[in-house]
Each structure stands twice: as C-alpha cells, then as structure tokens.
Amino acid sequence: MDLKDLKNRAEKEISLAQNLEALNEISKKYLGKKGEITLVLRSLKDLPITERKKQGQLANQIKKQLEQAINNKDFKTKEDVKDRIDITAPGTRPLQGHLHPITLVKKEVEDIFAKLGFETIEGPEVEDEWHNFDALNIPKEHPARDMWDTFWLKEKGLLLRTHTSPVQVRYMEKNNPPLRIIVPGRCFRYEATDASHEINFYHIEGLMIDKEISASNFKAIMEKFFQEFFKKQIKLRIRPSYFPFTEPSFELDLECLVCGGKGCSVCSKRGRIEMAGAGMVHPNVLKAVNLNPNNWQGFAFGMGLDRLTMMKYKIDDIRLLYSSDLRFLRQF
Ligand code: FA5
C-alpha cells in the first residue's frame, strides 16, 4: 500500500471536515479498529523483516501525525474566535467608589469623641434667624451679625446656616443637662474663596454642659482629641477671641502640618492655622433655652472639618476637596 497517498488523502479529508461528526468518521476510517492505518500495522507481520521495519516506522509516524491533525482541528470561524469568552483570562474589576476624605475624617472625629462620651447630633442646613443668631446672643442690627457673611433665602427669616452653633440651641431646647454632643455639618458663607476658605464647608460643633465645667476641661478634651487624631503630640495655641455666644471666647490654632510650620498658602505664611472658635457658653444662651446659668456651665467649640482634613492629609488647597477631580479623590 502507498502510505504517502494514504496520508495525503487523510489530511485532505481532515482539513475539509466541517463538523465533529465528519471528523469522527475520518478518525474511524483511518485510525479505527478496522481503519486503514490499523490494517497496515496489522499486516506488517507478513512482510520480510527489513521491509517490516521500514514500513512499520513510516506507518507509526503517519498514525501519530493523523492523530495530531485530528486533535488540532479547529472548526471555529474567525467570527467565532472573536466572540469566544476566555474563562481563564483575569477579570476586569468593576469600578468601585469610596468615601470622600471629609467623610473619612468626620467618621474618625465622631469615633474619638464617642470614646470621650460625646454623642453625634445633626441639625438642619436651612436655619431660621432665631437659632442661627438671636438665641446665640446676636440680636437683629447687632454688629456681630457681620462676622458671618450670610446667604439669606427669599423666604423671610430663613438662611443657609453660617455655622453649626444653632444646633447647640436646638439640642438644649429639648434635652436637659448634663450634655455632651458633637455636631458635624455643612455650613455656608458668602465670602471670597482662597486656599483655606470655601463658601461651603464643614464644621464640627462641640458642646459640653455640666456643673463646674471650666476652660481647663475644654483644653484637656481638645488636647486628647488632637493627640488621638494625629497620633502624635501637636502644638496647640489657645488665644483670646470674641464670639457673642461665649464668654470668655478663644480661638484654637494648630501648627500648620501642610508646611510643618514654615509658612505656606494654607496658613497664609503664618506657620499656624486657625482650627476652631470656642469659649465658655454665654449665660444669655443658657437663659435663651431656659437653663439657669448659676447651676449650669459649659464650653462649646466650632472646628473646621475641612481644615482638619487638610492637616491630616497635607492638602494644600481646600478647593480640591470640592473639585470632584478623580485624580485627587482616588488617592484616598
Ligand atoms: C464660628 O463659626 C463659631 N460658630 C465657632 C464657635 C462655636 C465659637 C462654639 C464658640 C463656640 P468661625 O467663623 O471662626 O467660628 O469658624 C470656625 C472654624 O471654621 C474656623 O476656625 C475655621 O477652621 C473654619 N472656617 C471658617 N470659615 C471657613 C471657610 N470659609 N472655609 C473653611 N473653613 C472655615
């Protein structure tokens, strides 16, 4: 038998096979029990020894080649290959969002104050004049109203709150001391923006009312908070200031951690940044919520949450926090 001819025929048939069924037929025809190659191999024994060896080698070689050609046969058209799903390929991760840096810091602040016994409270962003000003000892026409550039709403007497201090009043109206709360929240001011000022920013208000509370309680709580928050000793400065709803009033400055105290655009080259306004709650505020200032005292503070975030992550412009720039946000 002409083994080369057999090989050529088989290869041609394999290449023309359109489906698995046809291929199985070909396999049977050449390699099956009664297949052509099988028969050749079986008939070798009748050949003289030298011929047997030669034919045997060739027949085995052709058998292997045909088996390989059958195994490698691919019926897929080009279209099929394109659409084929490779289940072993590594998957692409679905895009997943994450918390904004201000939210991360807000949560951390809440956790630290919770350990110090402060409950987290919220209040409305649209406020009335009584809670934002009058009850905080800032009557109409009082020059102190100019301390906060206000977005007034068309509806009379309503505004976008300029600070979270009105929530102190709202809480004291409904709850009896002793009290320990913090109030994270959004504030709005009609002012020019720069590296450390936005028209929309966040405060964390703090209020502690009890018997025999003094400024040293405030200092101790703030020192503890900053140490926990920055995980290191931070230089604080408490200096006298003025707020109509506290007496005495302070301002709390932090060494600027963006420049390490050298001076930069965030701290206006001062090396320190103003983090919070604070003071001992004014007797008039306690009276406005029907508490007797002879029995109760306390401290309050309003801390800039954005600035805290900037110090923590060394962000050199507050406007980045509101830019929605994914290149910035993906770093957190
Ligand atoms: C107040 O708003 C007072 N309500 C704080 C207070 C509360 C005093 C309780 C006494 C008792 P002030 O306007 O200074 O204070 O704002 C407090 C902090 O908010 C500032 O120290 C600063 O860290 C931050 N802050 C103020 N204005 C802006 C702004 N435009 N952008 C970003 N952060 C600001």
CB 132 within 8 A of CB 192: no
> Pick from 331, 285, 287, 299: which is nearest to 138 by CA?
285
* CB count in 10 Å sphere of residue 227: 14
The predicted-structure confidence for 231-278, as pLDDT tens digits, reads as follows 998 889 999 999 999 999 999 999 999 999 999 999 999 999 999 999
Q: Is the pLDDT of residue 78 over 70?
A: no
The predicted-structure confidence for 34-69, as pLDDT tens digits, reads as follows 999 999 999 988 889 988 999 899 999 999 999 999
Q: Which of 307, 315, 319 best tests ligand 1's pocket when mutated (most atoms within 8 Å of CB)?
A: 307
Distance 260 CA to ligand 1 centre (A): 22
Distance 277 CA to ligand 1 centre (A): 6
Who lines ligand 1 at CB under 6 A?
163, 165, 189, 191, 197-198, 201, 203, 243, 246, 274-279, 300-302, 304, 306-307, 318
Distance 147 CA to ligand 1 centre (A): 10
Q: Is the pLDDT of residue 128 over 90?
A: yes
Q: How many residues does this entry show for the chain?
A: 332
- pLDDT-based confidence at 211, cuts 50/70/90? very high
Q: What does the block give as tokens for 206?
A: 């703090």
Determine the pLDDT at residue 80.
60
Q: Is the pLDDT of residue 227 over 90?
A: yes
280, amino acid identity: M
Determine the pLDDT at residue 68.
93
Q: Is the pLDDT of residue 207 over 90?
A: yes
**Ordered domains of the chain (ranges, CATH):** 3-84 (no CATH), 101-329 (3.30.930.10)
Percent of the chain with pLDDT over 90: 77
Distance 231 CA to ligand 1 centre (A): 24
CB 181 within 8 A of CB 157: no
Percent of the chain with pLDDT over 70: 97
Q: Is the pLDDT of residue 188 over 70?
A: yes
